[in-house]
Amino acid sequence: MYSPKTIALLALTGLVLGCTTNLYAQKKNSKNVIAQYEKYIDDNADQHLKAFQELASIPSISSIPAYAPEVQRAAVWIEQKMKEIGLTKTQIIPTEAHPVVFGSWMGAPGKPTVLIYAHYDVQPVKEAEWIHPPFTPTVEGDRLYGRGTSDDKSGVVNALFTAEAFLKTDGKLPVNIKYVFEGMEEIGSPSFASFLEQNKDLLKADYALNADNGQFDEQTPAMTLSMRGAAPLEFSIKTANTDAHSGVFGGKTPNSAQIMAQLLASFYDARGNVAVEGFYDKVIPITDEQRAMIKKIPYDPAHDMKLLGTTAEAGDTSYASLERIWYRPTLEIVGVESGYTAPEGHSNIIPSHAMARITCRTVNNQDGKELIDLIVKHIDKHLPKGATVSYKFSKGYASPFQLPNNTPEFNTITTVLKEVYGKEPLQLATGGSVGAMLSFKQILGIYAYPFGFALEDEGFHAANEFYRLSSLRKAQIALTKYFLLVGATSTKTKK
């Protein structure tokens, strides 16, 4: 006979063993479930690469009006691909700027809806600087070279290919999905907020993912929780109706290039800070929590210098490198043009016109328009006699944004990234901007958490941009795990 105490102990042991066996069985079953989608992803890798190259070959440059038909062509390509993979609703929705492509599959009643954001417009190019034509996507080893491959057409195709794996394997998804792919992110998403306002019902969702993002490196996952805003400005200086002979008229004629150089130099003080009056007035000091987060990042400034080929750091050295990149505002000169600048030849002229483009990266409670107004005031104040100035303003400004790290959505993505990479993701900020992110929270009431797989060395916005083919697979596997986890652990929360 067993004593009551022994019987209780045996019962408890059986319960523990049963739970352990059940958890093991669930884990094993989960691996088996994942395996069928992995097989589809691997079996269709060549076909997916070909489709990715097709999309990347379209020069969907949103900032140059002449390329508007190409932006539209990319939108049409995406909508057609949505139909091919089995989405039940697709449409191209025009805006005052470039169109948004919407697609959905809502065949999982009682399950949550996940909205995935990406953008299909790209930056301009200087073709002479590319090792391959920027819109002839070319594979070299594990890299696909081409404009927009990393930023952000990879985000578009990864999201679509993952849904395809589910729909073609068993005809359904574990969650409802909605895709919102915009064509104006590279110009600050000027019409995106109004698009959200006009389509609130269409875009209702429980969770949102931002595919326009990346990981720390190939072995280390990351969650980007803070982004800076962006405020661009173009201005031109005119000193005469025509260029002048530098000998015949030199010494008495105002020089637009010289005046532009003086104005640009006046933007900064000797320490590298912005000298525009009021520029820092609304900047909130860096918090102890933010500094503690930075200390956990394995960052070496020499890595960036090697990556870019620079030999020194710039800016106010009273702030650490990551503090400057993540939590301090900047005013960057991104383009200057004046005089004779052809690759060959030498023209002895006094330029009559000069043009410059700048971009401010804004932080916390700064307002992009307010900063641009301060810069215009600064230019007008320092403009010398004999020169006139004209301005070309952006239609919109991306706002800075911060995500909480204590939500169920954050925990779900962290769980998936840990499973894919085998380690906890780092919590990061970024100096870059995605104009749509604040609008998701303000208008739709949901946070759009990062779920992209670009890496910082992939040359987005520069010549020879590329995306790793291994990241194509990794992104699809990760999103597959995310869909399965959300579908298994969550129920619909919004009407």
For β-strands 229-238 and 330-338, DSSP reports them as: unpaired
Question: What angle do the packed helices 45-56 and 469-489 form, to 10 degrees?
Answer: 110
For the chain, report the end-to-end CA distance as a whole number of angstroms. Answer: 58
Number of H helices, E strands in the chain: 13, 18
| pLDDT (tens digit per residue) in 322-368 | 999 999 999 999 999 999 999 899 999 999 999 999 999 999 999 99
Place of tokens 């640009």: 264
Strand order in the sheet with 138-140: 138-140, 143-145, 466-468
| Eight-state DSSP code of residue 119 | E
| Eight-state DSSP code of residue 179 | E
pLDDT of residue 351: 98
Among the listed residues 462, 484, 415, the one whose alpha carbon sits nearest the alpha carbon of residue 131? 462
Q: In sequence order, what are the residues at sequence separation of 6 or more whose Cβ sits closer than 8 angstroms to the Cβ of residue 183?
A: 60, 62, 71, 74, 75, 97, 98, 99, 100, 101, 119, 120, 121
**Cβ neighbours around 456 below 10 Å, total:** 16
Give the separation between CA 200 and CA 102, rounded to whole angstroms.
13
Structure tokens, 325? 């990149």
Give the separation between CA 212 and CA 216, rounded to whole angstroms.
14
Query: Which letter, b or e, does each residue of 267-305 get, where b requires 16 or more Cβ atoms within 10 Å of its Cβ?
Result: bbeeeebbebeebeeeeeebeeebeebbeeeebeeeeee
Question: What angle do the packed helices 154-170 and 4-43 form, to 10 degrees?
Answer: 110
pLDDT of residue 16: 37
- Do 29-227+401-489 and 230-283+329-393 fold alike per CATH? no
CATH 3.20.20.70 given to domain 29-227+401-489: no
Q: Residue 454: beta bridge partners? A: 214
The answer on pLDDT for 212 being more than 80 is yes
In 184-273, which ranges are E strands?
207-210, 222-227, 229-238, 244-245
Could you tell me how many residues make up the chain?
495
| pLDDT (tens digit per residue) in 421-431 | 999 999 999 99
pLDDT mean over 248-274 = 96
Give the separation between CA 262 and CA 356, rounded to whole angstroms.
12
CATH 3.40.710.10 given to domain 230-283+329-393: no
Q: What is the pTM of this model?
A: 0.85
pLDDT of residue 24: 33
| Eight-state DSSP code of residue 153 | I
The answer on pLDDT for 1 being more than 80 is no
pLDDT mean over 272-281 = 97
pLDDT of residue 130: 98
| pLDDT (tens digit per residue) in 6-44 | 434 334 434 433 443 343 334 444 677 899 999 999 999
Burial of 461 (0-12, 13-18, 19+ CB in 10 A): middle
Say whether the peptide bond before residue 152 is cis (omega within 30 degrees of 0).
Answer: yes
Q: What is the largest CA-CA distance in the chain?
A: 118
Q: Residue 161: pLDDT band by 50, 70, 90 thresholds? A: very high
The domain ranges of the chain are 29-227+401-489, 230-283+329-393
Structure tokens, 191? 């019409």
The separation between CA 49 and the C-alpha centre of its own chain, rounded to angstroms, equals: 21
pLDDT of residue 30: 64
Q: Residue 435: pLDDT band by 50, 70, 90 thresholds? A: confident
Alpha helices in 90-191 (DSSP H): 154-170
Residue 146's region, left for phi above 0, alpha for psi from -120 to 50, else beta, is: left
pLDDT of residue 21: 33
